[in-house]
Structure 1
Amino acid sequence: MGAFTFKKAPETFWASVISEFRKYYSYHHGVSDTDGDAVVKEHAARTMTQTLYEERDRAMIRAEQHNTSLEEERPAYFDKDEWRSFCSHWCKASFKEKCAIYAKNRRKLQVVHTTGAKPFNKFKQVLEQKYNEPPTAVQFGKKHTRRKTQMTGHLKRLGRLGSGCERC
Structure 2
Amino acid sequence: MDAVKVRRHATPVSKLCTPLICVLALLLVGCGAEKRHLGAAVPLTPPILADDPRAAGLETNAFELSEGGRQFRWAACGQCHGSQAQGAARLDDDAWRCGGTTTQIYRSIAQGCGAAMPAYAAKATPDQIWRMAAYVHSLSRTDAKKRRRADNALAGEPQGSTWKGPLT
Same fold at TM > 0.5: no
* TM-score normalised according to structure 2 size: 0.21
Q: Which has the larger radius of gyration?
A: 2
Q: TM-score normalized by structure 1?
A: 0.21
